[in-house]
Amino acid sequence: MKNFLIAFVFLFSSNLFSQININPSNECEEIIFQNANPSNQLVSLSTPIWEEDFSSGFPANWSKFTSNTVSGLSTCNWQWTTDGTYGYYNGNQGVSGSNDLTSSSASNGFLISDIDSANHYAYGQPSGSTYEYIESYFTTDAIDLSSYSAVSLEFEHLFRYNNLGNGSFTPPTVYISSDSINWTTYLVNNNIANNTQSSNPEITSLNISSVAGNQSTVYIKFGWVARCYYWMIDDIKIVETDPNRLEISEMTYGGWWIGYQTTGDIGIDYTFNPMAQVSSNPYRVEAIVKNNGGSAQTTTKLNINIEEGGASVFTAFSNPIISTVNSNDTLAAKTDFYPSNYGYHDLRVWATSDSFPSTDTLVKGSIVTDTVYGVDYDWNTDGANAGNGFYLGRSCGGQVLANAFDIYENTTLTSISFHVNDKSVVGAELNVELYETNGQVWLEESDSYTLKSTDIDSWVTLPLLTPYPLFAGTSYMAAVKGQQHPTDTSLISSTTNPNTSRYLQDNCGTGTWYTVSKALLIRMNFGISTSVIDIENKKTFDVYPNPSLGFVNVFSSDLTDFEVNIINCLGQIVFTKRNIMDSNLELNLNSLKSGVYTLSVSDINNMFSRRIIIK
C-alpha cells in the first residue's frame, strides 16, 4: 500500500518574524541546500565518446520491454516526454504532468517510466491494494568502444520509489554487457530512502571499464521493477575515465552511516541543537567517498573543517584507506566536535588522496541553541526555507505528523513549535502531542488551538499541559495533530533534511504510523517552565524558553487585556507591549542585548514577574 497519498506540494511566500536571529551568509545558505543533494553537480569535462540527449524522441534502434510480474493489467514501457509524471500521488489526479526532470537538455525531451500513472490508469483509482509490480526496461543498440580501455557511463536522472527492501522490488539499475546475454549490474538509487525524491537532476557516473573497456559491442540497459512513482533519464554519455578521480556525497554530522549502527541511536542531523544535548552527543562528521577513476587511490581520507563566523574552530581527518576502483567507502572523522559557543556553525568536508588533490567541498550548517531542538533549515524562523506541506485536518480524519528526537541529556519539554503552511485555513483546530518513538506511546499534549489569520505561513508555539521530563537514551516524537473536518483545513510545512526520522499517523485509515517522505518543521523547546500561579485567584502565566536566544513566549489562559514590560538591571523599561488579548503571546526580543532582565505581566487586578536570560 502506498503510504503518502495525503502529501501535496505547495510553494511558499514568506513575510515572518524571527525566532532565532542567526544570519549565515547567503553563500553558506546556498551551499547548504546544494549539498543537501551533493550529486547535483557536473561530473566530467571529458569530450563524450558517445551520447544521447533524446532530441529525436526514443531512438529507433533501441528496444524496450515491460511486463506485469503478477500477470495483472498494468504495464509501463519507457516513453519520450517533456511533461514529467502523470501519477496520482501528488494530488492532481493525473490531469497534468509534474515533477519533470530538470536535466541539461530537458527542453528537447527525456525518457520516463511512469509506473504510478500506469497502475492508476489500469484501475482508475487514486490508491489501493491493486497496485502491482511492473517490470520496465530499455536497451541501447551496440556501441563500439574497442579503442578505449577506460570508460565511464554518465547520465542525469530523477526518481522516486516505495517498497525498498521488498523482494519484489528492484531499485533503479543499470546493466552493462558486451554480448547482450551476460550483464553486469550497477545499482544507481544512491541510497535514497523510500518515498523520497532524488536530486533533480541526480547526476550519476559509473566506471564501466571492467565490462566495456576495449569491447566492440557494448550494450546499456536501464530498468527496474516497481509498483509506484517514476524514473526519468536524460543526457546519457560515455566518456574516457580519468585515472585519478574521487567523488564525495551523503555528508552527515549525526553519525547516520556509522554511528547509529554502533551506538544504537538514530543518528539525526540536528540543525538546531541545544548545548546540553551536544555536550553528550557531539557532532560526528561522516561522508561517502567513491573512487570513480581508473586507478586505486592510496591514503584516501576525509578532511573536516568547522567554522564559526568565518573562522576555523575545529579540524579533523578520517583514518586513511586505499580506495579501490568503483568502491564506495564511508569515512568518518577520528575525533568528534564539541562546540563551546552558541550560534551558527559551518561544517565542511572534502576528500583527498595521494594522487587526487581534492573533491568538491560539501557544507552543512547547524545552530547551537540553548533550548530549541530542530531538524529544519529555517535558520531565522521566518519561513524562508519552508517547503511542501502535509495535511492534518482531513475530511476522513485528523492526521498526526511528527519528527523523532533522540535525547542524550535529561531535560524537560515545555512546548512544541511548528510552521503552518500558507494553504492552511483560519479556524482549523489542532494541538501538539508528545510520544515515545518506540511503539508510538502517547505521553502528553497541549490544549486544542484554533488557527488565527496571523498564524498562516508563520510559526506557532503551543505549551504542553504539563512540562514533561525527557530521559537520556530515549527517542521521542514531537507531533502536531489535526481535527477531522469536511474540507482540508491545515498543513504543516516540511524540510529537506534527509538524515532524520519522521512519521505520519494515518487516521484516514487504521491509525497506522508510517514514515513520511520529508521531515517536518516541528521543533521541541526545552527548559523548566517558569510558571507562576496566583493561588488565591487561580491565575497562571508561563514564560518559555528561559534562557532564550531572543524569542520568548508568554502564556496565560486566565489574564485578559494585560501588559508586558521588560525591565533591565538599571530598572529601565526597555520593551513594552500593551492591551494584549492573546493567551499565547510571542515576543521577539532580538533587539535587546544579552543579559538578565525582569519580565513583568500585569492586568487591572494582577501583576506577576519573572527573571529571564537572553543569550
* CATH classification of the domain holding 585: 2.60.40.3080
d(CA 17, CA 458): 8
Q: pLDDT value at position 65?
A: 97
**pLDDT class for 28, splitting at 50, 70, 90?**
very low
Q: Is the pTM of this model over 0.85?
A: no
Q: pLDDT value at position 444?
A: 96
Question: If you ran DSSP here, which 8-state letter would residue 46 be given?
Answer: S
Report pLDDT digits (tens) over 500-546: 999 999 888 888 998 887 899 999 999 754 555 444 454 566 788 87
Report pLDDT digits (tens) over 136-194: 999 999 999 999 999 999 999 999 998 888 999 999 999 999 999 999 999 999 878 78
Is residue 342 situated within a structural domain?
A: yes
Closest of 43, 74, 77, 235 to residue 158, by C-alpha: 235
CATH number at residue 258: 2.60.40.10
The more confidently predicted of residues 234 and 88 is 234
How many CB atoms are located within 10 Å of the residue 586 CB?
18
| Domain limit, last residue, from 181, 209, 240 | 240
Q: pLDDT value at position 571?
A: 64
Report pLDDT digits (tens) over 292-323: 898 999 999 999 999 998 899 999 999 999 99
How many CB atoms are located within 10 Å of the residue 64 CB?
17
The more confidently predicted of residues 227 and 598 is 227
Mean pLDDT, residues 26-37 taken together:
26
**pLDDT class for 570, splitting at 50, 70, 90?**
low
Which SS3 state, helix, strand or coil, does residue 259 take? helix
Count of domains observed in the chain: 4
Q: How much of the chain exceeds pLDDT 90, in percent?
A: 57
Residue 91 has pLDDT above 90, yes or no: no
Q: pLDDT value at position 310?
A: 87
**pLDDT class for 265, splitting at 50, 70, 90?**
low
Name the H helices within 267-311: 275-280
Across 481-518, b (16+ Cβ under 10 Å) vs e yields: bbbbbeebbbbbbbbbbbbbbbbbbbbbeeeebbbbbb
Q: If you average pLDDT over every residue of the chain, what do you get?
A: 84
Q: Are residues 312 and 397 in the same domain?
A: no
Report pLDDT digits (tens) over 32-85: 222 233 333 444 556 899 999 999 999 999 999 999 998 888 899 999 999 999
Using an 8 Å Cβ cutoff, are 585 and 555 in contact?
A: yes
Q: Are residues 392 and 314 in the same domain?
A: no
Range of the domain at 178: 50-240
Residue 559 has pLDDT above 70, yes or no: no
Q: Are residues 209 and 286 in the same domain?
A: no
Q: Are residues 359 and 428 in the same domain?
A: no
